[in-house]
Amino acid sequence: MKILHKIEDVRNFVKEEKGINKSIGLVPTMGFLHQGHLELVSKSLADNDITVVSIFVNPAQFGPNEDFESYPRDFDQDVSLLKEKKVDYVFAPSLDEMYPENFATKVVVSGITETLCGAKRPGHFEGVATVVTKLLNIADPDRAYFGMKDYQQLKVIERFVRDLNINTEIKGVSIVREKDGLAISSRNIYLSDEERESALSLVKSFNVVQNLLDEGERDADVIRERVIDFISGFKYTNIDYVSTVDPETLEYIGFIEDKFLLALAVYVGKARLIDNKIFEV
Ligand code: AMP
């Protein structure tokens, strides 16, 4: 496995590999790798000749009061996990390499960035779209892999890749969960044992929703209120949003006709956790 820090070095190997008709898969991450990331890596290894994993904690997608400085990092462990998976290349650029002096460009996606996390984290998706555009331009992959845990992020990426005619197939990967259902996240490390118990309220609320649907409930606002009550009943929880939206447009759904996405963002202690599920009736 080769570890590269320079954009030029990535471009060189991409040229070389493509020259001998190798397909390339890219898995963008912010490091502190866990089973969720490794699932994306497995998918890329299965689909492509060459897999590149990028590790870059992108300051542009963190708000001024968010956890950029304290975001967990463990480069050595990441490298050893990726070596074990037999990944071909790791791209770990410095901040200056990605954002040199006088960097002035942003990729702005309208509409679908204005709900859910986009509404709560101003500038977040501009930061995501800009860095992912750069990574796609640098590695020029045939396919790139993103988790459905960050559902809105996946939809935003699908949108600008289509709008800007970027020649990469975007692959969404199902949420990887702990045995008890908690969606795996680098930020779970912030949770104390007691908070972790409360963090289960997110995935448990999916049962509340399913039961209401089974009883015939179709008013999304009623479902939303019941989820809010349920999660609020757990210690240390502070709801950022509970939303029912169209899984494609991410627009608010009030009455459930066929399917909807339940999207959750909840602070548990200081950890901001997200989770989601598509329900069909
Ligand atoms: P991050 O390092 O948090 O930016 O995540 C990198 C990629 O891994 C993103 O595409 C995430 O959606 C994905 N990811 C993170 N956690 C999970 C999970 N539990 N299941 C599936 N994908 C995940």
Q: Is 146 in the pocket of ligand 1 (CB under 6 A)?
A: yes
Taking the domains of the chain in order of start, what are their residue ranges?
2-173, 186-275
What distance in angstroms lies between residue 68's CA and the mean position of ligand 1's atoms? 16
Q: Which pLDDT does position 122 carry in this prediction?
A: 96
Residue-level pLDDT at 109? 98
Q: Is residue 33 part of an annotated ligand binding site?
A: yes
Ligand 1 binding pocket includes 93 (Cβ within 6 Å): no
pLDDT at site 97: 98
CATH topology for 186-275 is Pantoate--beta-alanine Ligase; Chain: A,domain 2 (3.30.1300)
CATH architecture observed for domain 2-173: 3-Layer(aba) Sandwich (3.40)
Output the CA 172–ligand 1 centroid distance in Å.
10
Q: Which of 37, 121, 196, 277 is catalytic?
A: 37
What tens-digit pLDDT sequence spans the chain (281 residues)?
A: 999 999 999 999 999 999 999 999 999 999 999 999 999 999 999 999 999 999 999 999 999 999 999 999 999 999 999 999 999 999 999 999 999 999 999 999 999 999 999 999 999 999 999 999 999 999 999 999 999 999 999 999 999 999 999 999 999 999 999 999 999 999 999 999 999 999 999 999 999 999 999 999 999 999 999 999 999 999 999 999 999 999 999 999 999 999 999 999 999 999 999 999 999 99
Catalytic residue check, 5: no
Enumerate residues 6+ apart whose C-beta is below 8 A from 69: none
